[in-house]
Amino acid sequence: MIDTRIDPAFFTQLTNQLEESDSLCSWDEFKLAWKGLNLQTTPEFDGLLSLTQLPHINFLEHQVDACEKVVHEMSGRAILADEVGLGKTLEAGLILKEYMIRGMAKKILILTPASLVNQWTQELSEKFYIQAASPRKKHADWKNWDITVTSIDMAKRENHKQEILSIDYDLIIIDEAHKLKNHQTKNYQFVQQLKKTYCLLLTATPIQNHLSDLFNLVSILKPGYLGDLSTFKKKYKNTHLGAADTQEHIHSLLSKLMIRNLRKDTGLDSSKRHVKNITLKFNKEEQEVYDELDAIKKDYPSFTWLTLTKELCSSREACYMSLQNMHKKQPSDLLKHLIDRLGELPQHTKAMKMAELIQQSDEKFIVFTEYRASQFYLQWYLQQKGISSVPFNGKFNKSKRDWMKQLFKTKAQVMIATEAGAEGINLQFCNNIINYDLPWNPMRLEQRIGRIHRFGQTKDVNVFNFAIENTMEDQIMKLLYEKIQLFQNAVGDLDAILEKIPGGNFETHVQKILQESESQGEIDIKMKNLVSYVEYNVKERKESS
Amino acid sequence: MKQNVYYDFTKEFFTINGCLIEEKNAKHMKVLLTRQMDESLMNRPFYWHYMKKMNREGDPMSLSFKDISIGEEEEGIYLHAGTPKLQQIYQTALEKGYITRLYESINHPTHNLAMHPWLILNMKITFRGKQSKDKILSIGLNLINGAITHNMMELLEHIKLIQKISDYTFPMTPMIKLESAYNRIIQHVETYLTTLDTDWAEQSIQQFNYEKQLLQKFFHSDDIGEEQYQKELDQLAIRYKPRVTIKIANGGLFYLSVHTSQNLLT
């Protein structure tokens, strides 16, 4: 019944070496080898050896449980779906270590967004004593590297793809796996073709819009586990994603495949959040330009007006860039006039407030803005005020990112980041965040805050949200962030709710409302409806739990 | 106070390999490596290559180790189950202690003593299915009478064995050839394996069949192609199919007195 194999190398060696006496070892050496062998064995099926090998790290209970479950119950194919900041990477590292110690994984591939490659290699080495390689521009040795960390984009390039697909990997880890929800994308198909024994998918948001997202993720791990796609779709076509029994059903379906720890269950709430919403008034000149932008509505779609006003709420520079581009494509007197008017504006109201806040404190601040132009402006402005700052964005290469993080940690008081840089940098040494402008999707705000409010943060976290009165920003803040009480809430519930509003997720709804409404009044009503829907669901969830 | 087995092992390793050890207390040691140890453990082949080429001696480095109970005040590598250097030390210990021929040391026997040859194999058996574990065995076979004994290393632990045959003793010519002795031990182990608990294998097969069934249904629904199906099937087999691998870690020929040989069997 059980296939038995014997490593044949020994016997040949034995006969050869017995003939050459000088290659033979002493009794002490022989005994020592035996002792070494004893210390290296894994005598039990159950338990975690990785814990005894990593005594310098205090793993949290939920992380240990996750590892135990994945290795011993789920047979190494699982979705790790803890909320942001609960240490999914640590869980994945622990599982990886366990498989390596048990001799079940040797050839390992880790796919992460490009911005996280360095962090992964560093953590594996420092925390897990695992040395991983990552390909540089020309140098990649997929066949000989046992443990490789790289991005999907790099891996699926023509010159690497075939070689990677030909390798039998023992374990593949995919970070930020929600990006694989669509089975028609090249990335998805590439991942599906990989040869892998064990596989971990890491994501904080396993269900984004549709149940079929989940179906696709599961199909990477255990094809057929949820049946076939058409039956699955038929079965769940009319089920309301928000309904409690559907939730329960889905969770029980996935209990053998997915680990999901929530912040509120793990007692990680010791560091608190203090949220301060700061509403500012445009100065006279800014208000005038803002009003003048109304003229745009005549010749351009309402979306353009929306973009420009949103930009003006951030900085002159951001707005100027767009107007300049429009002017280049299609010159007009109106655009020329607006550009000139922008040039006359004084320092931005928000920038001044920001500098004031920072100057009152000796602590470090991370400032998030949506626009590159604002980022440049703010850096310049802080410099004028004698405040040291470093920029951060997604276009930086690995070494520059690390360098900036290092500078921020050791020298600069402020880091100014754009959204693209938010994913995956960990800045627990900083406990103040300024949302210089607000994203329309609360989950993205959560991602930002998660950079500093995460495992390892010892102080309370201060969140400052800026908005200009009587603008779209003000509305977003009042409606989204004050009413829903986003910040104090268990985000795990909220993300599920926001992603599962009938007819698209939250962000698309907001965009639609803003684009399709004809008057301010209409916007107000529609936004209120949307928010009440979310509010209702949050309450319902709270009561039922 | 629990003894740190890793500390003790490391100390023994360097002692046996002729390194000078300075021990401040029982929890901290500084090891001056020999050139050979430096080459095996310090990962600097270019340095030694260069030294050889230049015909120079070279300076072996030293390494400090400490027990995990010692804090930062002492320099050194913490010794615990996961210390990376330790993995390298295990590897070196196994390479250096791979094959041997040893004789029981006998002090001035009154008459000529016959020594029985034994083949001893130390092996690691890995059971793998849904989960995995190892078992180590130390088995000896008497090449005169074919007797087989388990736990050889334990039984021989306090017996003095040396690499040269003692005066007034003589090795007997094996009745059983080395190759057939080797095969007999393997056969014996295979039989022994069938007497062990097989629950783990049954559970693995159950899981294997269950997931295979799911996959087949999925395949019939045309959601995946033939090639993908085959690949998934192979991966299922790697994940669940129960199997056992036997790897011989070290072994050799041992000449033991008739007296000792008989004691081993009782």
pLDDT, tens digit (0-9, with 9 covering 90-100), for A96-111: 999 999 999 999 999 9
Say what percent of chain A tops pLDDT 90. 47
**Using an 8 Å Cβ cutoff, are A197 and A169 in contact?**
yes
Task: Kindly give the pairing relationship between strand A432-435 and strand B148-149.
Answer: unpaired
Is position B217 within any domain?
Answer: no
Do B147 and B250 fall into the same domain? yes
**Contacts (Cβ under 8 Å, ≥6 apart) of A153:** A114
The pLDDT value recorded for residue A487 is: 42
Set out the domains of chain A in order of their start, with CATH numbers.
Answer: 49-264 (3.40.50.10810), 273-280+348-488 (3.40.50.300)
The pLDDT value recorded for residue A208 is: 59
Average pLDDT, integer, range A462-469: 91
3-class SS letters over A164-219: HHHCEEEEEEECCHHHHCCCCCHHHHHHHHCEEEEEEEECCCCCCCCHHHHHHHHH
Do B104 and B76 fall into the same domain? no
Is position B38 within any domain?
Answer: yes
Is position B22 within any domain?
Answer: yes
Do B85 and B131 fall into the same domain? no
A-facing residues of B in 32-51 (CB < 8 A) are: none
CA atoms of A41 and A242, how far apart (whole Å): 49
CB contact under 8 A, B228 and A192: yes
Question: pLDDT-derived band of residue A491, with 50, 70 and 90 as boundaries?
Answer: very low
Shortest Cα–Cα distance, B95 to chain A (Å): 8
Residue A492 predicted with pLDDT over 70: no
Residue B194 predicted with pLDDT over 70: yes
Do B44 and B60 fall into the same domain? yes
Do B185 and B77 fall into the same domain? no
Do B177 and B258 fall into the same domain? yes
Distance set, CA A229 to CA B219, B220, B228 (Å): 11, 12, 16
Is position B117 within any domain?
Answer: yes
The pLDDT value recorded for residue A490 is: 42
A-facing residues of B in 48-107 (CB < 8 A) are: 68, 78, 80-82, 84, 89-90, 93-94, 96-102
CB contact under 8 A, A25 and B98: yes
Is position B144 within any domain?
Answer: yes
Do B79 and B121 fall into the same domain? no
Which of B96, B112, B127 is a domain's end point?
A: B96
Helix (H, G, I), strand (E, B) or coil at B16: helix
Question: Which residues on A lie below 8 Å from B94 (Cβ)?
Answer: 33, 36-37
The whole domain housing B255 covers 100-198+244-265
Question: pLDDT-derived band of residue A423, with 50, 70 and 90 as boundaries?
Answer: low
Average pLDDT, integer, range A402-418: 90
Do B133 and B256 fall into the same domain? yes
CB contact under 8 A, B239 and A28: no
The pLDDT value recorded for residue A124 is: 94
Is position B234 within any domain?
Answer: no
Do B11 and B71 fall into the same domain? yes
Which of B96, B129, B164 is a domain's end point?
A: B96
**Which range among A399-408, A417-426, B54-63 has the greatest average pLDDT?**
B54-63
What pLDDT digit, counting tens, does each position of A203-253 carry? 887 765 567 778 888 989 988 888 888 888 777 766 655 555 666 677 677
Per the model's pLDDT, the better-predicted residue between A279 and A508 turns out to be: A279
Within its chain, how far is the Cα of A472 from the centroid? Answer: 27
Question: Which residues on B lie below 8 Å from A3 (Cβ)?
Answer: 241-244
What pLDDT digit, counting tens, does each position of B80-118 carry? 888 889 999 999 999 999 999 999 999 877 888 899 999
Is position B212 within any domain?
Answer: no
Nearest-by-CA chain B residue for A198:
B239
| pTM for the whole structure | 0.71
Question: pLDDT-derived band of residue B147, with 50, 70 and 90 as boundaries?
Answer: very high
Domains: count for chain B: 2
CB contact under 8 A, B94 and A4: no
Distance set, CA B101 to CA A177, A247, A259 (Å): 56, 67, 54
Say what percent of chain B tops pLDDT 70. 98
CB contact under 8 A, B84 and A21: no
The pLDDT value recorded for residue B28 is: 92
The pLDDT value recorded for residue A181 is: 79
Do B81 and B150 fall into the same domain? no
What pLDDT digit, counting tens, does each position of A248-267 carry? 677 677 888 999 888 777 76
Question: Which residues on A lie below 8 Å from B242 (Cβ)?
Answer: 1-3
**Contacts (Cβ under 8 Å, ≥6 apart) of B204:** B129, B130, B131, B240, B241, B242
The pLDDT value recorded for residue A214 is: 81
The pLDDT value recorded for residue A494 is: 63
Distance set, CA A251 to CA A82, A88, B107, B142, B224 (Å): 14, 19, 74, 60, 25
Is position B170 within any domain?
Answer: yes
Do B132 and B26 fall into the same domain? no
The pLDDT value recorded for residue A243 is: 58
CA atoms of B100 and A145, how far apart (whole Å): 34
Do B174 and B252 fall into the same domain? yes
